[in-house]
């Protein structure tokens, strides 16, 4: 893999005009989601599921996904000391984790994000991108992309 220019990527994330940042994977299935959660947990990341703000016990299931942006279930992933990435389970078709760009303050923080992206790519076999918050990820220029 070519060396990433972490400082320029970090600068781009810092300079974005409001909004969140997203870790995004297109063309996924429930099996991809399940593989990602398992892979993250096995790597030591803390994941949690909530429904309408209440913690849910047990694992991820296909019944948790709804079509549309009014999802009742939320997946949360703790990354490093200060980052939390979340997603509503609104579709099995795309993994779309949102994070606060203000929590990506250093190259160490960005390296942690890249580590999560690598795990997701390994679990899915797909390209994973980091991009500014968007409703059109296919046509939004990413800050970076990884493919294992």
pLDDT at 1: 40
Q: Are 85 and 76 in contact (CB under 8 A)?
A: yes
What is the token pair recorded at 82?
Answer: 């200060």
pLDDT at 8: 87
pLDDT at 129: 97
pLDDT at 24: 97
Q: Are 78 and 103 in contact (CB under 8 A)?
A: no
Nearest by Cα to 80 from 106, 54, 118: 106
Q: What is the pLDDT of residues 36-55, one digit of tens each?
A: 999 999 999 999 999 988 99
pLDDT at 7: 85
- Residues in the chain with pLDDT < 70? 1-4, 17, 67-71
d(CA 68, CA 58): 23
Cα dihedral 88, 90, 92, 96 sign: negative
0.85 surpassed by pTM = yes
């Amino acid at each position: 893999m070519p060396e990433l220019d972490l400082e320029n990527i970090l600068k781009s994330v810092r300079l974005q005009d409001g909004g969140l940042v997203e870790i995004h994977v297109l063309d996924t299935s429930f099996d991809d989601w399940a593989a990602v959660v398992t892979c993250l947990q096995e790597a030591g990341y803390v994941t949690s599921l909530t429904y309408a703000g209440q913690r849910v016990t047990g694992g991820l299931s296909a019944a948790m996904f709804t079509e549309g942006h009014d999802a009742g279930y939320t997946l949360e992933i703790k990354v490093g000391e200060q980052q939390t990435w979340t997603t509503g389970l609104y579709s099995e078709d795309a993994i779309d984790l949102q994070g606060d760009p203000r929590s990506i303050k250093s190259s160490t923080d960005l390296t942690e994000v890249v580590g999560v992206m690598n795990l997701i790519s390994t679990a899915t076999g797909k390209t994973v991108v980091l991009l500014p918050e968007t409703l059109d990820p296919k046509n939004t220029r990413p800050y970076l992309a990884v493919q294992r």
